[in-house]
Amino acid sequence: MAVLLAGSTALAACASDESSGGSSSGSGENGGDLQIGLAFDTGGEGDRSFNDAAVAGVDAAIKEHGGTVTKLSPNADASNRADLLTQLADQGFDPVIAVGFAYSEVIGDVAQQYPDVTFAQVDGHVADAGNPSNLTGLVFAEEQGSFLAGAAAALKTEANHVGFVGGVQTPLIQKFEAGYVAGAKAVKPDITVDVQYISPAGDFTGFNDPARAQIVAQGMYDGGADIVYHAAGGSGIGVFQAAAASDERAIGVDSDQYQTVDDPALKAVIMTSMLKRVDVAVDNFIGEYVDGNVTGGQDEVYDLARDGVGLATSGGQIDDIQTQLDDYEQQITSGQITVPTTP
């Protein structure tokens, strides 16, 4: 189905850890056996998006298999990523799951130092980390889900003008941009799509700066866009605030953000969210680990065909275009449409 509805359990927002601290949770008959280490991306737990989706996957796995989890967040400039992974591996946590592509710079070396520990990286390709045999990449076809978001925006816009706000200008986030623009133009070839990033490559503050995101999105609304899609992690709340101030609409990302915001005024502007099922990927990986079925040394790809990406239906704002969205999904999964991965 082109439209996925994420459950509230998978999307519960949690309080953020200290920047380099950790917390432990979980229960079950086998709680002493499974000890999961989880290293967050910038923004940490409580981002109501990417990191929280990983937490939801771990929580689902613990509910099924028992066990505990210890969670660590990077410091302000994320310079201690390697230290977080080393700390978890050295203390005996297994598996160790890193959230975010930025860990690619360090996870390969850590995995080689701890060959008996099983590692996974959300948004990380094994090849980019040097192909360690004890690392699994959990990667997604973000461009496919973003194509559907772009199609939805084009089908709903009254101004023939929409926007995209990226957190950090990296190849990964550009996949969201490329898919969104392609989807919008598949519906309306003459549509205007504004694109702007909060921070350049290498500056990861763009994933945790709602104030700057609000300024960027407000500029788009003031310029005539009536729907803005963000792929900006914890900064995305600023896009929703700009949409509410402008009486326009926005599209969330990663989790069903209609379910994660508390302010009714912000909830009302979220037309849909592009679901990136990090929760499913993490839950599946832990299940494979428990069953002894982790191959390692390769990527697991979550695309539309595997329900790894899709659109949330909460709020009912895209119910009237579901048939068209289903048709676009069928064209993508059948190969009739090949979605670009670069702008």
pLDDT (tens digit per residue) in 257-272: 999 999 999 999 999 9
**Same structural domain for residues 155 and 182?**
yes
Structural domain span for residue 221: 142-276+313-333
User: Is residue 267 in some structural domain?
Assistant: yes
Domain containing residue 193: CATH number: 3.40.50.2300
**Same structural domain for residues 328 and 206?**
yes
3-class SS at 136? Answer: strand
Sign of CA dihedral 70, 128, 273, 247: positive
**Same structural domain for residues 187 and 325?**
yes
**Integer Cα distance of 293 and 181 in angstroms:** 38
pLDDT band at 43 (very low <50, low <70, confident <90, very high): confident
**Same structural domain for residues 146 and 135?**
no
User: Is residue 3 in some structural domain?
Assistant: no
**Same structural domain for residues 161 and 241?**
yes
**Same structural domain for residues 267 and 291?**
no
4-18 exposure pattern, b = at least 16 Cβ within 10 A, e = fewer: bebeeebbebbebbe
**Same structural domain for residues 318 and 173?**
yes
User: Is residue 262 in some structural domain?
Assistant: yes
Q: Give the pLDDT confidence of 124-179 residue by residue, as tens digits.
A: 999 999 999 999 999 999 999 999 999 999 999 999 999 999 999 999 999 999 99
User: Is residue 178 in some structural domain?
Assistant: yes
**Integer Cα distance of 331 and 258 in angstroms:** 27
**Same structural domain for residues 98 and 130?**
yes
pLDDT at 78: 81
**Same structural domain for residues 301 and 257?**
no
User: Is residue 249 in some structural domain?
Assistant: yes
Looking at the structure of the chain, the number of domains it has is 2
**Same structural domain for residues 197 and 326?**
yes
**Same structural domain for residues 208 and 89?**
no
Evaluate if residue 183 carries a pLDDT over 80. yes
**Same structural domain for residues 201 and 317?**
yes
User: Is residue 63 in some structural domain?
Assistant: yes
